[in-house]
Structure 1
Amino acid sequence: MKEYTKEFAAWAVSVTYTDIPSPVIDMMKKCLLDTLGCAAAGSGQCEIRNLIRGAMNPDESGKADVWFLGETAPLSTALLINGAMNHAVELDDLHKPSKIHAGTVIVPSILTVGSLYNIDGKELLTAMAVGYEVMLRTAIAIGVDSHRRRGWHGTATCGAFGAAAAIGHIMGLNGLQMANAFGLAGTSTGGLMAYTADGSMSKRYHAGMAAMHGYLAAVSARAGFTGPTYVFEAPDGGYGHAASDKSDLEELVKDLSETWHCKDMGHKFYACCGHIHQAIDCALKIRNENGLKPEDIEAVMVTTYDVAGMSWGFSELPKNTVEAQFSFPYAVSAALVDGQAFIPQFAPERLTDPLINSLAMKVTVNTSDKFTSLYPNQWASGVEVKAKDQTYYTEVIGAKGDPVNPLSEQEIEDKFRSLSGGRFSNEQQNEMIAAIYNIERSESIAVIENLMRG
C-alpha cells in the first residue's frame, strides 16, 4: 500500500518560502486581501451575530482575537467564528477543479494561530500556500463530483486537512506529527449539503468548523496524540473510499512543488453560489446589450451542468438569504432587474421584491450534456431570454472572476474597499492593502492583526 498520507505530510512540513513560485505568492496576497474583505462584510451578518451569541461565553476569555469584536476567546472558539464570517456573504475565493473555498478556512487559521506564534510575513505566506495546496489537492484526489453527489460540502470536509497543514506548519510539526494531524483531521471532518433543503446557516458554520478541527488536530498531534497515518489510503475507513466513489489518491502527491493548484484561484464577483455566476454573466450581457427592462421579459431559460442544476434549479421563491444565494431563478432575476448581484440584492428586505419575484417565476432551469461534460474543470451556462418582440441567447464559459476571466488587481482592491467600508476607514483600507502587498518584508503580522481586532 502506497503511503500517500506520510508522503503528503512530509511535503507539507518541508516547504519553505523560497520553494514557492512568485505567481503563487502573488495569488496568496490577492486571496488574503479578498478574504479579509469578505470577513469585514460577513462580520455584521445576522447569522454571525447569532453564532457569536451562541459560541461566546461572557464569563470566558482567551488568548485569541475574535475579529472586529474587540474581545478574545479560546482559540477554537475564535477560529469557529472568524472562519464563519468569511463565508457569510458568499463572496470568498473559489477554486473550480476542486469546488473549494480555501480562503475562508485557511486565512483565519493562519492569522488567528499565527498571531500567537508571532510569525513573520514570509511564514504567513508559506503556511497559507501549504494550507491552500493541501486543501485543494485533497478535494481533487477524492473526486469532487462524486463527493458532492454524496451530499458532502467539500470546503468543510477538505478544509480540516488544509487547516491542519497550515497550522501545523506554523507550529513546526515534523513529518510524522503532520501525518498524525492529517489522520485526526480526517477522522473529525464533516459538512453536509443538507442546508440546501431549507437555507439554514450551517454552510457558514462549516468554514469555521474546518478551521477549528484543523487546529485541534495539529495541536493534539504535536502533543503526541496519534491519528491514522494512513487516513487517505486505508482500505477500511480511508478517506478516499469513504468520501467518494471515484477517488484518485495519486493526485495528492502528483508533481508536488512543481504544480501549484492554488495559483488558479478565482475571486467571486457576485454574492451567491459560484455555480450561478455564469448564468448571471449571461443575463447581464443580454440585459445591457439590448436595453431590456423586466416588464419586457416573458420567459427566461437557464441551461447549465448537472451538478449545478440538481441543487439550485428549484423554482420556489426563497424564504431567506441562503436560499436566495443558491437559487438560479432568484439570482438571475435580481441581476436582470438591478443590473447587479451583490450583497444588497440578497438582503432579507429584497426577497419579497415583487418585480424580482414575478420575474423569477418565469425562469426555468435545465441541464445539458454539453455543459455537464465540461465540469469540473470548466463551469459553463447559457441563458435564453424571450422578450415581447425577440428572443436572445448567450452562453458563458468561466464567469467574471474565474481564472479564465480574472479580476484585475485593481478590481480586487475595489472589491475589498466595497466589502470593508463598514469596518475600515479609507486610511485603514490603504494601510491594509499596503501591508498585504508587502507582507513578505515584514517581521510581524501585527499590522493585519491590529486592524482585524476592530
Structure 2
Amino acid sequence: MTDPFPRLVEHVSSLRHGTLPASAVTRMKVFILDTLGVGAAGAHGTNLEAMTALVDTWGHGADARVWGSETRLPAPSAAFVNAYRIHSLEFDCLHERAVLHPMAAILAAVLAYADRRAHRGRPVAGAEMIAACIAGVDIATFLGFAARGPVRFFRPSTAGGFGAAAAIANLAGYDFDLTANTLGIQYSQTSGTMQAHVEGSPCLGLQVGFASRAGIVSADLAAAGFTGPRDVLTGPHGYFRLFEADRFEIDGEIERIGHEFQIEEMAHKPFPSGRLTHGAVHALKLLRDRLRFSADDVRAFECFVPSLVARLVGRPDIPDPEPNYAKLCIPFVAATYLRRGDVNVDGFLGRDVLGDPITHAIASRVVVIQDDNPDPNAMTPQRFKLTLSDGSVHEIKLDHVLGHPKAALSRDQHLDKFRKAWKSGGLEVEAGERLIDRVDDLESVADVSVLSAMLARS
C-alpha cells in the first residue's frame, strides 16, 4: 500500500495559482462567495452573541475580524467564531463523495490568517488565496473519498481541520518539511464526534470552529520549530486506522491528487438544512410543480434512501425540536417545505416555528425507508413515492439532488442564494453587491482582508 502522506504534502507545498485550470479557479470563486454569504446568515447561529463575547475573554488582539460585528480577535479565535457562523445553519457547501463540508473550516482560517497578515503589513493576494483554498479542499476531501466504511466521526471537523492546516501552510509558502509538520501537528488536534449530529447539538458547528482554529495553530507551531508525527494517515495509530476503522483505499485514489481538483465536485446547498434532507425537498418541488397539490392533499410521502441518508437524517420527528435536530430530520424538513412552500433560514427560528403543530402533523405523514444500496457513503440515488388524498400515487427518482455539479445551480440561483443569505445576516445590501464584484475579480485583489471588512460592522 502506498503511503499517501508525501504525495499530499508535496501537493500542498507546491500548488500555485498559475498551475490551476480556469475551471477550478472559477468554481473556487463560486464557493468562496457562497461560503461568505452563509457566514453572513450565520448571525442566526445558536448563542452566537454569547459565544463571541466569551471568546473575546480568551485573549485580546486586533489581528482578525469577527464577521457581523465590530470585534477583532487574535486570528485563531476569529477563525473559530467565523467557522461556527458558517456551519451553524447547515447551509454551507459540501463534497458529496467525501461526505464532507470542507470550506467552512478552510475559508474561516484563511481569511483570519489573511487579516493577521494584512495587520502586520504583509497582505495576502487573491490569487494566493484561491490556490490555498483549492489545496485545502483537495487534502480534506481525499480523507473523505478514500474512506470505505460508514461515517464514524464528523468529517467537516476531522478532515476539514486538515484542509484548514493545508491551506494555511500553502498560504505561508511553507516548504515540504514545514508543511509536513503542520499536518502532523494538526493530526494531534484532530477531533469531531458524530454524537453532536445525532443529538442535534450546536456543538456540531463548534467542532468546525475547533478545526479552523487548529489549522492556524498547527501552522504557527510548525513555524516556531515544533515537529509533528509523519505517519499520520496510515501508521498504526494514523487517521485511517482510528477515524475510519481501518477501512480505506489509497491506491487509485491518491492518483487524483494534482490531476483532479475537488472544488469542481463541490455541491451547493440550496436549503439551510442537512444536505441529506435535500432530496426530499427537491422531489417534492418537482412533484408539486407538476401536480399542483397542497400540503392538505398529501396522504403519505415515502422516501427510499441509502443507508447514510437513513442513518443521519432519517430520525423521527419530535414535538419541539432544537434547530439543529429539525434541520437534520427529513420528516420535519419535508413538512416545512409543504407548509411554507420553501425551506429557508426563518423555517428553523423560534419556538413557534419549531413547535408548530401543523408542521408536525404533516411530518407524521413522511416516512423514511432504507434501501438496499451497499455503499455506506452513498447519498444517491433516492426514490420517492407520493400518495395524494384522491388515492393517486406518483413516484420520482433522483440520481442527483439539486445543487450537485450534475444538477448545478445556475449563476442566477447561486447569486439569489447569496443575496438572501446576506440579507438574512442584516448586512448592507450595497456591501453584498461589492463583495460579489470583488470575488468575481478576486485575482486582481491585492489584499483579501477587504473581504472580511465587508462582512464586519464598523
Shorter-normalised TM-score: what interval? Answer: over 0.9
- What does residue 427 of structure 2 align with? 424
Cα distance, 1:447 vs. partner?
2.7
On the 8 A contact 1:264/1:403 being kept in 2, the answer is yes
Task: Name the structure 2 match of 1:127.
Answer: 132
Q: 2:326 aligns with which of 324, 327, 335?
A: 324
Answer yes or no: is 1:70 the counterpart of 2:70. yes
Which secondary structure does the structure 2 equivalent of 1:271 belong to?
Answer: coil
Q: Where does residue 266 of structure 2 map in the other structure? A: 265
Cα deviation code 1:16-38 (max 9, x no counterpart): 11111111000010000000000
**1:383 match: secondary structure:** strand
Residue-pair matches, total: 447
Q: Which residue of 2 aligns with 1:274?
A: 275
Asked if 2 retains the 8 angstrom alpha-carbon contact of 1:137 and 1:251, the reply is no
Write the mapping of 1:372-451 to structure 2, written as runs, cut at 5 A: 372-373=373-374, 376=377, 379-389=380-390, 390-421=392-423, 422-451=425-454
Given candidates 333, 357, 360, the residue that maps to 2:360 is 357
1:241 is displaced (CA, Å) by 1.1
Residue in 1 aligned with 2:254?
Answer: 253
Q: After superposition, what is the alpha-carbon deviation per residue over 1:200-245, rounded to whole angstroms, capped at 9, x for unaligned?
A: 10111121111111111111111111111111121x2011211213
Residue identity opposite 1:280 in structure 2: V
The CA deviation string for residues 399-426 of structure 1, in whole angstroms up to 9 with x for no partner, is: 1111111011221111111111143323
In the alignment, structure 1 residue 305 sits paired with structure 2 residue 306: yes
Q: Secondary structure at 1:43's aligned position in 2?
A: helix
Question: Aligned partners of 1:135, 1:228: CA distance in 2, in Å?
Answer: 18
For 1:284, the equivalent position in structure 2 comes to: 285
Q: One-letter code of the match for 1:444? A: D
Given the two structures, how large is their TM-score scaled by the length of structure 1? 0.94
Q: CA RMSD in A?
A: 1.8
Cα deviations across residues 111-168 of structure 1 (Å, max 9, x unaligned)? 110122211111011111111111111222233x43x1x3x11111101111111111
Aligned counterparts of 2:146 and 2:15: Cα–Cα separation in 1 = 20
Aligned partners of 1:198 and 1:378: how far apart in 2? 21
Q: In the superposition, relative to structure 1, how do residues 339 and 373 fare at CA in structure 2: closer, same or farther (>3 Å)?
A: farther
1:58 & 1:6 partners in 2: Cα distance?
Answer: 36
**Alpha-carbon separation, structure 1, partners of 2:211 and 2:277:** 25
Letter in 1 for 2:128: E
**Which runs of 5 or more structure 1 residues have no equivalent in the other structure?**
none
The within-5 A match list for 1:207-226 is: 207-226=208-227
Residue pair 1:87, 1:207 contacting (<8 A) in 2 also: yes
* More moved, 386-395 vs 354-363: 386-395
Deviation at 1:377, TM superposition (A): 5.7
Distance 1:142 1:227, change over 3 A: farther
- Cα distance between partner residues in 2 of 1:106 and 1:22: 21
1:58 Cα deviation from its structure 2 partner: 8.2
Contact 1:180–1:229 at 8 Å: present in 2 too? yes
1:187 aligns to what SS in structure 2?
helix
**AA matched with 1:330:** F
The verdict on how the C-alpha distance between 1:378 and 1:323 changes in structure 2, with shifts beyond 3 A counting, is: closer
Correspondence 1:52 to 2:52? yes
Distance (Å, rounded) in 2 between the aligned partners of 1:249 and 1:50: 43
Q: Which amino acid aligns with 2:60?
A: E
Residue 335 of structure 1 aligns with an amino acid whose one-letter code is Y
1:31–1:93: 8 Å Cα contact kept in structure 2?
yes
Secondary structure of 2:343's match? Answer: coil
Aligned to 1:42: 42
Which runs of 5 or more structure 2 residues have no equivalent in the other structure? 118-122
Residue identity opposite 2:132 in structure 1:
A
Partner of 1:193: 194
Tell me which amino acid in the other structure corresponds to 1:243.
F
Distance in 2, Cα, partners of 1:419 & 1:243: 34
Distance 1:6 1:267, change over 3 A: same
Post-superposition Cα deviations, 1:300-327, rounded to whole Å, max 9, x if no partner, equal 2111111110232122325111111010
Report the counterpart of residue 120 of structure 2 in structure 1.
none
Distance (whole Å) between structure 1 residues aligned to residue 449 and residue 56 of structure 2: 24
Aligned counterpart for 1:334 among listed residues 317, 336, 339: 336
Q: Which moved more, 1:133-142 or 1:27-36?
A: 133-142
Paired with 2:188 and 2:454, the residues of 1 have a C-alpha distance of 35
Task: Select between 383-392 and 407-416 the one with higher mean Cα deviation.
Answer: 383-392
* SS at 1:269 equivalent: coil
Q: Given that residues 233 and 249 in structure 1 are in contact (C-alpha distance below 8 angstroms), is that contact kept between their aligned partners in structure 2?
A: no
Range that drifts further, 391-400 or 426-435:
391-400
State how far apart, in whole Å, the 2-side matches of 1:79 and 1:218 are. 13
Q: Which moved more, 1:1-10 or 1:358-367?
A: 1-10
Does the aligned pair in 2 maintain the 1:6–1:176 contact within 8 Å?
A: no
Q: State whether structure 2 residue 345 is matched by structure 1 residue 343.
A: yes
Residue 129 of structure 2 aligns with an amino acid whose one-letter code is L
Q: How far apart, CA to CA, are the structure 2 residues paired with 1:312 and 1:256?
A: 31
Aligned to 2:385, the other structure's residue is in SS state strand
3-state SS of 2:237 partner: coil
Q: Please tell me the residue identity of whatever aligns with 2:8.
A: F
- Post-superposition Cα deviations, 1:15-65, rounded to whole Å, max 9, x if no partner, equal 111111111000010000000000000023333223223322187344221
CA distance in 2 between counterparts of 1:223 and 1:69 reads 31
Once the two structures are superposed, residues 71-104 of structure 1 have per-residue CA deviations (whole angstroms, 9 ceiling, x without a partner) of 1112221111011000111111111110111111
1:256 CA drift (Å): 2.5
